[in-house]
Structure 1
Amino acid sequence: MTKLNWKNIAIAGTAAGVISGLVKLGWENILPPRTAARNETNPPQKLLQQLGVPKKLTHATYTYSGEKLPWVSYLVHFGFSIAFATAYAAALEKKVKWLTLGQGVPFGIAVWVAFHLVIMPAMKTVPSVKDQPWQEHLSEALGHIVWMWTNNEIAEIVLKQLKNKN
């Protein structure tokens, strides 16, 4: 059995998660998943509020180039991305083929289904599947595919470089 190098996995997962998180944010600029009204309190903000975090904190922003940006939402967004990228990097290292096949695309679809079609609607963080517009489904499904493909590419490169370095 191969012993996992958790330091390398953490480095690769963090690098992949940050980059894929940026890719996903860029994707959502091109194909916004939610209407402006639904984004007044976005899913990370609503989830935190459901967990008891006050709206004053969940809606805290910083200003850059005259734009107010939701830093708390970004913490959740990048935390989620890094966590999944790190788990995926571990699967790559462990050579778990059923999780890493198709360069992560099926895994990305599974994450979308699990969170956007099952978990968050069940928690009432987002509307039920039938009440979400088709544009949201399209943006989120494709976005999760590109997000996890990015995780795959970056994690593979970083893990390979770290192995060659050792």
Structure 2
Amino acid sequence: MSSSPLPGDASNEQSADRTGRFVRQPNGRIRPLSPHLQIWRWHVTMAASILFRVTIGAMSVASAIAVGWLAALAFGPESYAKVSACLGSPFGLFIAFGLTVVLFSFILNGARHLFNDTGRGLTLNSANLLSNVAVWAPIPLGVLFWVLLFATGRVSL
């Protein structure tokens, strides 16, 4: 047992820790609160983890757009022309660029997770490197991809 009294300890309330980092559970046990940003300093691995969860949600939006595009294709040339005009507008291209960045982020974060699942890349330096790649590389990859699309004439304004 710990030599210092815990918060809520009735035997020595005066010297109890008043940081608010402990809580009494319904069974009477004292447990530390889950760490949060006030306790842990921000780190790139945290950003990579949060970004991966965000990309999963964004890929759901991309899937809904793809299903809408397929539905328009199934409903005939008039519906397809309307959806193509919407997707080809500057706002549609902006959304497509964002979803391209999300796709690259999703792929890189997934590769990072797959690599970590093999038991490799778990040292501090390699985890930082992989996380930095997963966080920052999708932006230049997305820009490069869209520059190539515009340069080859596959997309235009």
Q: Common fold, TM-score beyond 0.5?
A: no
Q: TM-score, normalised by structure 2?
A: 0.30
Q: Which structure has more RCO (C-alpha within 8 Å, separation ≥ 6)?
A: 1
